[in-house]
């Protein structure tokens, strides 16, 4: 049985898509159209009851969900790819930055910008919620910027944390939110990485690479 990857182009699943390519894995990609409500269909909920992307169904039929869990599984299952560092101290740093990207920048910041109605049912409050989201994003990137000072990656090589950072940096680029200097350099650097270029082209964002 071939692995099945459930994803939405340009979403957080882009980071997992990159990691799958970094690992050189064979998989089937199934597009979940969030705007059409595919994530709420019973067929998908049987795979991921949370109704979110990404989801990865393994060869044995086990279904994984949540960005951090899938990224960690890929790294641990393919140690030769060095997607997790060897030292405990560096691994803690990688997990810390990844969770900051997923839980704060995405879950608290961009979520308020992209899904404003979830935080404020009244349209009268939408602009203030979006402004709050942007503030969270800017403050979150400021923290990461200090962590990236003098570095090409979160640690001394590409890891799962860099894939997580990439997708939120990509969102900032797409929404016109300026990235601080070190984050912008990190984003530009990853845009030259073969797996990143392949994934963006496959997901319909080849124009970003020009």
Say which residues have a Cβ less than 8 Å from residue 42's Cβ, sequence separation at least 6.
none
Q: Which residues pair with 3 in a beta bridge?
A: 27
Q: How far apart are CA 78 and CA 38, in angstroms?
A: 31
SS3 assignment, position 57: strand
pTM: 0.97
Work out the average pLDDT over 41-66.
97
- Residue 131, pLDDT score: 97
- Residue 112, pLDDT score: 98
Instruction: Return the residue matching tokens 């790294």.
Output: 75
Instruction: Return the residue matching tokens 């797996």.
Output: 195
Identify the CATH assignment for 88-209 out of 3.40.50.300, 1.20.1050.10, 1.10.30.50, 3.40.50.720: 1.20.1050.10
Q: List the structure tokens of 19.
A: 């990691």
Domain spans, the chain: 3-81, 88-209
Tell which wins on pLDDT, 206 or 4: 4
Domain 3-81: which CATH class?
alpha beta
Task: Kindly tell me if the per-residue pLDDT of 210 is higher than 80.
Answer: no
- pLDDT, tens digit (0-9, with 9 covering 90-100), for 89-141: 999 999 999 999 999 999 999 999 999 999 998 999 999 999 999 999 999 99
């Amino acid at each position: 049985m071939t692995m099945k990857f459930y994803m939405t182009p340009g979403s957080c699943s882009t980071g997992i898509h990159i990691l799958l390519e970094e690992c050189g894995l064979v998989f089937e990609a199934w597009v979940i159209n969030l705007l059409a409500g595919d994530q709420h269909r019973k067929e998908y909920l049987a795979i991921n009851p949370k109704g979110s992307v990404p989801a990865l169904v393994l060869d044995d039929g086990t279904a994984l969900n949540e960005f951090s869990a899938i990224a960690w599984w890929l790294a641990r299952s393919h140690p030769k790819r060095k997607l997790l560092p060897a030292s405990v101290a560096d691994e803690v740093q990688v997990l810390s930055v990844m969770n900051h990207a997923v839980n704060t920048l995405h879950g608290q910041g961009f979520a308020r910008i992209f899904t404003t109605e979830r935080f404020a049912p009244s349209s009268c409050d939408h602009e203030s919620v979006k402004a709050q989201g942007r503030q969270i994003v800017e403050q979150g990137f400021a923290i990461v910027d200090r962590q990236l000072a003098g570095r090409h990656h979160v640690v001394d090589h590409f890891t799962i944390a860099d894939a997580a950072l990439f997708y939120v940096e990509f969102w900032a680029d797409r929404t016109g939110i300026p990235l601080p200097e070190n984050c912008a350099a990190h984003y530009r650097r990853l845009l030259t990485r073969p797996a990143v270029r392949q994934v963006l082209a496959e997901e319909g964002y080849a124009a970003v690479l020009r």
